[in-house]
Amino acid sequence: MDRKPGHLPKSPKDVLDALIWVKVVGLGNAGVGKTSLIKHFCESQFSPVYQPTIGVDYGFKIEKILGEDLRIHLWDLSGNSDYLEVRNELYGNTQACFLVYDISSQSSFDTLDTWLRELGKYGGLNSEVVVVANKTDLKTKRVISMADGRKWASAHKLKYYETSAVTGEGVQQMFQDLLMSVREREAQKDKRPKSRPSGADRQAPVKS
């Protein structure tokens, strides 16, 4: 369709469809540092949504990964069971999840199994999931060793990261690796054969 001068060369729908959106969710007990990690990654583009109403914090960032601009939405869903319905809604279409515990809190580590089960219940296990041992700056208060953290992660076939939302150590690396895995997974999906045979799949005509 020809467009008059001053109009976008493409329809707004085409422009929107061409953007790459990635939805990332943080999981883990209250207080482990999910919101702080999102804040650190998003810097100024962070808005705490009024917590008592819906129990969600939200961050947005545009980041170049593998040469493409990704529009990244990051959600921290409240650990409070009152918000179960909100969590249920928000898990939908999650592409990546960072599962956080606090290295100075045994109970936050012990609850990782429960969080992983919840993620599975809502279909989130189809997303890229990593384990994050946060608050590494609290060296003298550490009760979960790196070895124990790694052991749990590898038993669940998940990648393990150590971060501090206070010093920023490991934060960018963790999010960038997570986003890279999302894009690599999507690229693999695009490569899978479609139900309609492509030219190469079709049988060559039989010569008579």
Q: At closest approach, how far in Å is the CB of 30 from ligand GDP?
A: 4
If the CB atoms of residues 132 and 153 are measured against ligand GDP, the closer one turns out to be: 132
Residue of 22, 25, 33, 72 that binds ligand GDP (CB under 6 A) = 33
138 interacts with ligand GDP by CB under 6 A:
yes
Give the integer Cα–Cα distance in Å for 171 and 26.
13
166 interacts with ligand GDP by CB under 6 A:
yes
31 interacts with ligand GDP by CB under 6 A:
yes
HSE-CB at 193 with a 13 A cutoff on CA atoms is 8
User: Scanning residues 81 to 120, which ones bind ligand GDP (CB under 6 A)?
Assistant: none
Residue 168: name the closest of 30, 33, 31 by CA. Answer: 33
Binding mask 29-48 for Mg ion (x = CB under 5 A): -----xx-------------
Give the integer Cα–Cα distance in Å for 80 and 99.
16
If the CB atoms of residues 33 and 149 are measured against ligand GDP, the closer one turns out to be: 33
CB contact at 8 A, 22 and 71 = yes
Q: Tokens representing 171?
A: 């934060």
